[in-house]
Chains A and B, each alone.
Chain A
Amino acid sequence: MNGVRIIAVFSLRESIRRRVFLVVGLLTLGFLALYGLGTWQLFKSVDEFEPAIEGVEARTVAGATILGLAMFATLFLGTILAVFLTLGAVRGDAERGLLQPVLVRPLRRRTVLGGRFVAAASVCGAYVIGVFLAATVITWAFSDWWPDRTVQPAVQLAVAVAVISALSLAGSVALASTANGIAVFMLFGAGLTAGLLGQIGEALGSRTLDRVSDVVSWMLPFEALYQAALSALTADTFGFTRLAINLGPFGGAESASPALWPWTVAYLALVGVVAAWAFARRDL
């Protein structure tokens, strides 16, 4: 555990000294400023807007939709951070000669992987939680609307980027940095596309699309976690308002299955075991 801590602290120090957090922080402030501007404009329009259907709470529909958009952007930004913190952690660092002096110290290779994972997952998790909560507060400030759940979706987003960090770290054992980055972004895109297909499938009543979406969500649980987080925003919203939200681009998300958390833990463990096994056999 001490080795994991040393590697994790070292990785965090590297991010600070390389000004990763400064750059990410400044760009995130820019994103939140734009989001605030958009939200302000949206709710100005909502105030002038009479719901077409009696019983639809326009502020809830607008709030859930714009916060859903923010949630998507937050996951995307968190994914970028996770990928760039981990894409060259093994093969990339070994090719540059950075890894060998560390690996000849008395610590297991899996400890090095564990330390890198803890650092990336902590940073990215804290980042998405912070950005999501900031977006929630901005939404509330301009609309007076607050999502039905706050902590649950924030945690689900954080675990989603932890899953992406684990995949990227595992990919770095076998793939060169560029190839690994491309592979992880393709997996990310595949997951989100499957989620959208699932929503379309539900609207059309297509069981095939639903099944495709379900299978992909189990294979890439960050997608299921994201869907669950989206769903939690309006967990207690029913009636016509619920129907209106479901018709929007971020509606129709599936709530979390009871098996999602245990499966995510098992999935992370499985990815970790496979990565450690491959790393232990890798010639450097």
Chain B
Amino acid sequence: MASALQAVDVRKSYGPIQALKGVSLEVGEGELVGLLGPNGAGKSTLVKIACGLVRPTGGAASIAGAPAGSPAAHRALGYLAELFRFPEWLSADELLGMHQQLAGSDGGSRERMRLLELVGLAEASAMRVGAMSKGMQQRLGIAQAMVGGPRLLLLDEPTSALDPAGRRTVRRLLEELRGQGVAVLLNSHLLSEVELVCDRVAIIARGEVVAAGTPDQLSHAGGVEVETSSGTRLFADARREDAPQIVRDLVAAGDDVYEVRVLRSSLEDAYLEAVGDS
């Protein structure tokens, strides 16, 4: 089966500015991939190319095997833009109904109610978009993206307007979707969120993928710190497996050991290291 998303050597220039300089990225079926990077790194451009909203200057992107931007690709994806707005005069239920029509979904009112329940808006189905808070609109946006049961969700900063409880709801939702085999490309500035839910992370800076891997791979070991009677000692190259031998050596040398800490760099450290001074 084709990957949910495949981007091969995607390039995009806006006049003399190269927004993307040959990005390759793959999101497998049911995989949750986080896209990280500083402002202006090219993350949203990549997502928009995958959606067919922006035409690449070079390279190609495909959704479930269909060229990005084609109706077949659009049938397989759901998208929530970073900056979006829905018609204020529509109710939540009407908005989802319209997107069901556009997506060719025959889920009817059951699908609409299920989606509104998933994002915690079941009570607001008759509420007009214009009367909703930004957070409610963002949750409605996520529900809208899920209309028609897409194979791939492209979410561009889906939690930027949500409070902590709303973020937790979205995290659980993403995990549930992964369980159902839905692939997700999550573009977010919230590293902790990405670290918590994503299977893999790609870090983009200056239009290039500068680091990629699982959160564990990216947040590598940072040494072992030991508190002894002669003070705190740092063994920078040591790993978790080296800790017992370090303790034995210190005790043999006559030191009392009070505490041992295995240090790991966080995803934030890895991110900052990867993007440099972008």
Contacts and interface: CB of A to CB of B under 8 A. Distances in A.
Given A106-B74, A281-B55, A97 B83 contact: yes
Interface in A3-18: 3, 6, 10, 14, 17-18
B103 A101 contact: no
Contacts of A208: none
Nearest to B94: A13
A281 B84 CA distance: 21
Interface in B212-237: none
A104 interface: yes
A102 to B, nearest CB: 7
Interface string B49-79: 0011111000000000000000110110111
A263 B201 CA distance: 57
B2 interface: no
Given A10-B98, A100-B81, A105 B103 contact: yes
Contacts of B51: 100, 104
B104 interface: yes
A284 B86 contact: no
Range of interface residues on A (Cβ < 8 Å)? 20 to 34
Given A100-B53, A284-B53, A6 B77 contact: no
B102 A6 contact: yes
B151 interface: no
A33 interface: no
**Which of A6, A100, A104, A106 has the largest count of B CB atoms less than 10 A from its CB?**
A104
A101 B81 contact: yes
B104 A106 contact: yes
A108 interface: yes
Nearest to B53: A284
Nearest to B45: A283
Contact of B87 (A98, A103, A284): A98
Interface string A86-97: 000000000011
Summarize A's interface: helix, strand, loop or mixed.
loop
A233 to B, nearest CB: 40
B79 A98 contact: no
A97 B53 CA distance: 12
Contact of A101 (B75, B101, B144): B144
B52 A104 contact: yes
A105 B74 contact: yes
A17 B103 CA distance: 23
Contacts of A6: 98, 101-102
A211 to B, nearest CB: 42
A284 B54 CA distance: 6
Interface string A101-137: 1111111100000000000000000000000000000
Contacts of A97: 81, 83-85
Contact of B77 (A18, A96, A104): A104
A3 B141 CA distance: 21
B89 interface: yes
A10 B102 CA distance: 11
B85 A98 contact: yes
A220 B159 CA distance: 49
A283 B54 contact: yes
Nearest to A16: B89
A102 B48 contact: no
Contacts of B87: 14, 98
A107 B71 contact: yes
Given A6-B98, A101-B144, A283-B53, 19 more contacts: A6-B102, A14-B89, A18-B89, A97-B83, A100-B51, A100-B79, A101-B81, A102-B102, A103-B53, A104-B51, A104-B74, A104-B78, A105-B99, A105-B103, A106-B71, A106-B74, A107-B71, A283-B54, A284-B53
15 contacts: A3-B102, A6-B98, A6-B101, A6-B102, A96-B85, A98-B85, A98-B87, A101-B86, A103-B52, A103-B53, A105-B99, A105-B103, A106-B72, A106-B74, A107-B71
Interface of A: 3, 6, 10, 14, 17-18, 96-98, 100-108, 281, 283-284
Interface of B: 48, 51-55, 71-72, 74-75, 77-79, 81, 83-87, 89, 98-99, 101-104, 141, 144
